[in-house]
């Protein structure tokens, strides 16, 4: 009996280790000349920006649908002019992309969370939010759910945005191009903070964003095939996940209290009429 328990314990430990996020196994730091670092035996990743360069990483695997979670602690203090990105993107010239961008600000002023969805190279679907906490004081979980029916952007389990598949209404939806996870930290002081009025204060450099607990529940795309089996959808419940009543109420709360820009209400930008998805029921 004792031997059986020991074997069971060892098996559980193995499964937990095998499923734990490890940046050494899952991520490649792709640019920055040493400014992106994987630390603590693969459990922590940092990106740094200085006056000469930013840095970035990407996932080793490509995915065709998935739920991606990442704990991020954003650049603290005076982060004006800096942009931290976290997104999915395909590799074609007419690409698909699902964006989180975190636009820095002066000390004490809130970050702007910028979201967008591109299909076949066309975006123009921006929504922006403030957060209800300081994202520089601790790690928070930023999630992208992408399944054939919808895309959901969430923070600590609270949805900020839902973009539904409305192909039946003539709205393009990203569903055929596998994407990688990317993240970067770079200087964008020509537009990032107050439209470029506030510039990066290089006396505050280096700027650093930190990442941990990367989790990818996904359909891995390799050699033209998906790792997900159509015969066992229960193993991938996120493939049909939608917002329950509680989550719908949280979404309404966020959009009422923290949304600062919505392309769907920008009639000056679209004088010929709002995009189709903005008027769909």
Q: From residue 251, give the alpha-carbon distance in Å to each of 17, 75, 161, 167, 274.
A: 34, 26, 7, 23, 22
Residue 110 CA to residue 44 CA, distance in Å, equals 25
Residue of 101, 126, 162, 167 marked active site? 101
Give the number of other Cβ atoms within 10 Å of residue 267's Cβ. 9
Known active-site residue 91: no
Are 153 and 159 contacting, i.e. CB atoms less than 8 angstroms apart?
A: yes
Residue of 40, 91, 97, 162 marked active site? 97
Known active-site residue 162: no
Question: Which residues touch 144 (CB under 8 Å, ≥6 apart)?
Answer: 66, 67, 68, 87, 88, 98, 100, 151, 152, 153, 154
Where would I find the beta strands (DSSP E) of the chain? 27-31, 36-39, 44-49, 55-59, 62-73, 82-89, 97-103, 112-118, 127-129, 140-146, 150-155, 158-164, 180-187, 207-222, 225-226, 259-262
Are 85 and 184 contacting, i.e. CB atoms less than 8 angstroms apart?
A: yes
Q: Which residues are catalytic?
A: 97, 101
């Amino acid at each position: 009996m004792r031997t059986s328990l020991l074997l069971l314990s060892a098996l559980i430990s193995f499964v937990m280790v095998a499923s734990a996020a490890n940046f050494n196994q899952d991520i490649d730091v792709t640019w920055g000349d040493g400014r992106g670092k994987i630390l603590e035996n693969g459990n922590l990743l940092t990106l740094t920006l200085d006056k000469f360069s930013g840095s970035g990483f990407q996932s080793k695997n490509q995915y065709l649908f998935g739920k991606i979670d990442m704990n991020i602690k954003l650049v603290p203090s005076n982060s004006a002019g800096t942009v931290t990105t976290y997104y999915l993107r395909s590799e074609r010239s007419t690409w698909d992309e699902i964006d989180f961008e975190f636009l820095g600000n002066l000390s004490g002023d809130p970050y702007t969370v910028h979201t967008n969805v591109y299909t076949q190279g066309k975006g123009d679907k921006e929504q922006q939010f403030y957060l209800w906490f300081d994202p520089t004081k601790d790690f928070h979980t930023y999630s992208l759910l992408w399944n054939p029916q919808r895309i959901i952007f969430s923070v600590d389990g609270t949805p900020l945005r839902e973009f539904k598949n409305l192909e039946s209404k003539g709205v393009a939806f990203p569903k055929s191009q596998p994407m990688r996870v990317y993240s970067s930290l770079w200087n964008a002081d020509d537009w990032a903070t107050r439209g470029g009025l506030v510039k990066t204060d290089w006396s505050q450099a280096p700027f650093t964003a930190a990442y941990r607990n990367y989790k990818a529940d996904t359909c891995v795309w390799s050699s033209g095939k998906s790792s997900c089996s159509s015969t066992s959808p229960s193993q991938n419940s996120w493939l049909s996940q939608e917002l329950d009543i509680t989550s719908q109420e949280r979404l309404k709360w966020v959009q009422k209290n923290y949304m600062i820009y919505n392309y769907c209400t920008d009639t000056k930008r679209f004088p010929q009429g709002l995009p189709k998805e903005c008027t769909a029921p």
